Chain A
Amino acid sequence: MSEKKTKRRDFLFTATYAVGAVGVGATIWPMIDQMNPDASVKALASTEVDVSAVDPGKTITVLWRGKPVFIRRRTQDEIAEARSVKLEDLKHPEKDEDRAANPEWLVMLGVCTHLGCVPLDQKGDYNGWFCPCHGSHYDTSGRIRKGPAPTNMEIPKYEFVDANIIKIG
């Protein structure tokens, strides 16, 4: 065994370790993956909301996947304010047109992107939302303007099933 040539025994060791590692991995993975969202949690992935009773300037909050979703019917002033902001002034540049295809309706996750608190409506320095936990200010488009949050509040996948029904998810 003095020469450096690979021996049959070395091959057997390597092969044994490799098969062993695959076996250990295959055993551990189910133990890890069982903690991911289960089928019943995933099954609740979409929800339909009737918004016919929401007047301009009002927000309703619905629960989707255990998280609050803000559905705000914006006033003309708010829309104008959101659309007039220059992209250079934004920490996370996104056009309001891209966030609210139908400008009257802003549908977004009511979850602060800092550490997940629920921001308060009609508060803060930008007439939008204010997170009480660590002081993030969002504008009327739900975009981060001031404070520790890194990104704008998230827009979930949604669609208007008809004029009054929004399907989230």
Chain B
Amino acid sequence: MSDHEYTPKSKVGKWFNDRLPLLTLANHLTDYPTPKNLNYWWTFGGILTFCLLTQIVTGLVLAMHYIAHADMAFDSVEHIMRDVNYGWLIRYIHANGASMFFLAVYIHIFRSLFYGSYKAPREVIWIIGIIIYLLMMAAAFMGYVLPWGQMSFWGATVITNLFSAIPLVGEGIVTWLWGGYSVDNPTLTRFFTLHYLIPFLILGLVVLHIWALHVPGNNNPVGIDIKKPSKDTVPFHPYIVIKDGFALLMFMIVFAFFVFYTPNILGHADNYIEADPLVTPAHIVPEWYLLPFYAILRSVPDKLLGVVAMLSAILILAVLPWLDTSKIRSAVFRPLYRQFYWILVVDVLILGYVGAMPAEGLYLLIARIATAYYFLHFLVILPVLGLKEKTLPIPLSITEPVLGGSPNLAAAKNKESFKN
């Protein structure tokens, strides 16, 4: 990188850049050396930025027509759907956009898990990411309350009641969250306020996330440290820009499919019934992206411990860089970890499935086993595996496996041993 040497060509540019170095920043982002072997799993950062901006823009528009009042919220959402020009489109983009956001973030997180992107020196990037993920869940939950349908109301009741599990102060906290003795108008107005605020907090954290990324640079599928810039890197523009752009287009096709062909498939029919504090729907389930955690909550028969287990399942990710003791980042060179990784993926999918099913009989048993395995993976398997696993030899550069050699003479001589 030669940021400090950068000087704008035009006189005006130079004048401005000397006072606020925005052009230097733009130049850094354009020239930013990126590993040349980044695959399509690395395009989800850009896709997530797109998702965030989509939610902010459509949300801004919806807020112009929505009325945050318990007596009017439900009708105002129907008003958006029926009367507002293209209101149906904007609302469906926003509602399905939340699901697409989570789809992308889960791929992004599991990419990190596979390639060890959370390991030193990228722990801070990872932790900021987990905070973003937590804020996303908060924003999604509060956004789901705003239409004031039956699922909105009862979802809000159940989730806020989780805090009542806290000994002594729990009930007081719940009353404080509600602003009353039940979920009601004060709850709705504050959820609307926070739902509006959180995306901008996320935006700020995304800036920090990218800033922290640009300090060590991207991890890559081989997971080795590379020299930057070198033969192993390409400039961000145009190489990564075009690749991210293509992936984004593919993603938008999926997005558009949901918006235009099955806009309600990811929602619940019960939410088209206005909130009724006297009747609980027979089967309360959260949105699909929260189901694994819901399954963990329900698999524990004790109220407080259930809540503790659910929160731990999320927060355990924050300490992952220290739980995984392996020095090798990429699962490509960790034959055992690779298998446990896929078991974890299946485990989380199973948790998601049983989270949508009634908590009884066989489903409950499966949920309990899957919950136990989830914690086993992070608390036992990862720490032990890092010490015991026999890893494959890692190449010295990204180019080496391709050319079968390396500029490093000694490494080239050891080529045969590498192949074995």
Q: Does A67 contact B (CB under 8 A)?
A: yes
A41 & B179 in contact (Cβ 8 Å cutoff): yes
Task: Kindly identify which residue among B154, B179, B303, B359 contacts A149, using a CB–CB cutoff of 8 Å.
Answer: B303
Whether a CB of chain B sits under 8 angstroms from the CB of A36 is: yes
Residue pair A68, B278 in contact (C-beta under 8 Å): yes
Contacts of B245 in A (CB 8 A): none
Contact B157 A36 (CB under 8 A): no
Known: A41-B181, A65-B182, A115-B162. A150 touches B303 (CB 8 A): yes
Partner of A68, one of B176, B190, B277, B358: B277
Asked if A36 and B176 sit within 8 Å, CB to CB, the answer is yes
Instruction: Indicate if the CB atoms of B182 and A132 lie closer than 8 Å.
Output: no
Q: CB-CB < 8 A to A148: which residues of B?
A: 298, 301-303, 306
Chain A residues near B158 (CB, 8 Å)?
Answer: 115-117, 133
* Chain B positions 271-296 with a Cβ under 8 Å from a chain A Cβ: 277-284
The answer to the question of B404 belonging to the interface, with a C-beta cut-off of 8 Å to chain A, is: no
Whether, in the assembled complex, A35 has its beta carbon less than 8 Å from a beta carbon of chain B, the answer is: yes
Render B128-164 as a binary contact track against A, CB cut-off 8 A, 1 for contact: 0000000000000000000000000010011011101
* A67 contacts B280, C-beta separation under 8 Å: no
CA distance A135 to B361 in the complex (A): 12
Q: Does chain A have a CB within 8 A of B186?
A: yes
Known: A61-B278, A66-B182. A116 touches B176 (CB 8 A): no
User: Beyond A65-B181, A65-B182, A116-B157, is A133–B278 a contact (Cβ under 8 Å)?
Assistant: no
Interface size band for B: 35 or more
Is A114 in the interface zone, CB < 8 Å from B?
Answer: yes
- Classify the interface of chain B: helix, strand, loop or mixed: loop
Q: Is A37 in contact with chain B by the CB < 8 A criterion?
A: yes
B34 to chain A, nearest CB (A): 44
Whether A37 and B179, one on each chain, are in contact in the complex, defined by CB atoms closer than 8 angstroms, is yes
User: Would you give the shortest CB distance from A149 to chain B, in whole angstroms?
Assistant: 7
Kindly count the residue-residue contacts between A and B in the assembled complex, taking CB atoms under 8 Å apart: 85
**Which interface residue of B179, B278, B280, B302 has the most chain A CB atoms within 10 A?**
B280
Give chain A nearest CB distance to B279 CB in angstroms.
6
Of the candidates A32, A65, A115, A131, the one having the most CB atoms from chain B within 10 angstroms of its own CB is A115
Contact A63 B179 (CB under 8 A): no
A38 and B179 contacting across the interface, CB-CB below 8 Å: yes
Q: Does A92 contact B (CB under 8 A)?
A: no
Complex alpha-carbon distance, A134 and B360, angstroms: 9
Quick one: closest A residue to B278, CB to CB?
A: A68
Q: A38-B186, A63-B278, A68-B277 are in contact. Are A115 and B161 (CB under 8 A)?
A: yes
Is B56 an interface residue, CB under 8 A from the partner?
Answer: no
Q: Which residues of B contact A32 (CB under 8 A)?
A: 176
> Contacts A65-B181, A66-B180, A67-B277 known; A133 to B302 CB distance under 8 Å?
no
Please provide the chain A residues from 108 to 127 with a CB less than 8 Å away from any CB of chain B in the complex. Answer: 110, 114-118
Q: Which residues of B contact A115 (CB under 8 A)?
A: 157-158, 161-162, 164, 303
**Chain A residues closer than 8 Å to B186, beta-carbon distance:** 35, 37-38, 41
CA distance A132 to B154 in the complex (A): 12
**CA A118 to CA B154, docked complex, whole Å:** 9
A35 near B179 (CB under 8 angstroms)? yes
Give the A interface residue count (CB, 8 A): 26
Closest B residue by C-beta to A34: B179
Q: In the complex, which residues of chain B have a beta carbon less than 8 angstroms from the beta carbon of A110?
A: 278
Which residues of A lie under 8 Å from residue B298 when comparing CB positions?
134, 148
Give chain A residues whose Cβ lies under 8 Å from the Cβ of B179: 35-38, 41
Residues on B with beta carbons closer than 8 Å to the beta carbon of A36: 175-176, 179
- B282 CB contacts on chain A under 8 angstroms: 132
Contact status A41-B180, CB under 8 Å: yes
Whole-angstrom distance between the Cβ of A44 and the nearest chain B Cβ: 9
A132 to B282, CA, bound (A): 6
Q: Which residue in chain A gives the minimum CB-CB distance to B298?
A: A134
Decide if B278 touches A118 in the complex (CB within 8 Å).
Answer: yes
Chain B residues closer than 8 Å to A67, beta-carbon distance: 181-182, 277
Is A132 touching B280 in the complex (CB atoms < 8 A)?
yes
How far, in whole Å, are A61 and B298 apart by their CA atoms in the complex?
28
B161 CB contacts on chain A under 8 angstroms: 114-116
Report yes or no: B176 in contact with A133, Cβ–Cβ below 8 A: no
Q: Which of A35, A63, A117, A149 contacts B280 (CB 8 A)?
A: A117
Closest approach, in angstroms, between the C-beta of A88 and any C-beta of chain B?
20
Q: A35-B176, A36-B175 are in contact. Are A135 and B359 (CB under 8 A)?
A: yes
Interface string of A58-94 (1 = CB under 8 A from B): 0001010111100000000000000000000000000
| B-side contacts of A116, CB under 8 Å | 157-158, 160-161, 164
State whether B359 touches A118 (Cβ < 8 A). Answer: no
22 contacts between A and B (CB under 8 A): A35-B176, A35-B177, A36-B175, A36-B179, A41-B179, A41-B180, A65-B180, A66-B180, A66-B277, A67-B181, A68-B277, A114-B161, A114-B303, A115-B157, A115-B162, A116-B161, A131-B280, A134-B298, A135-B358, A135-B360, A148-B301, A148-B306
Q: A65-B181, A66-B183, A68-B277 are in contact. List 15 more A-B contacts (CB 8 A).
A: A36-B175, A37-B181, A37-B186, A41-B181, A61-B278, A66-B180, A66-B182, A116-B161, A116-B164, A117-B157, A133-B158, A135-B358, A148-B303, A148-B306, A149-B303
> Ordered nearest first, which 6 A-B pairs have the shortest CB separation?
A66-B182, A65-B181, A116-B161, A117-B280, A115-B161, A115-B158
Q: Which residues of A contact B (CB under 8 A)?
A: 32, 35-38, 41, 61, 63, 65-68, 110, 114-118, 131-135, 148-150
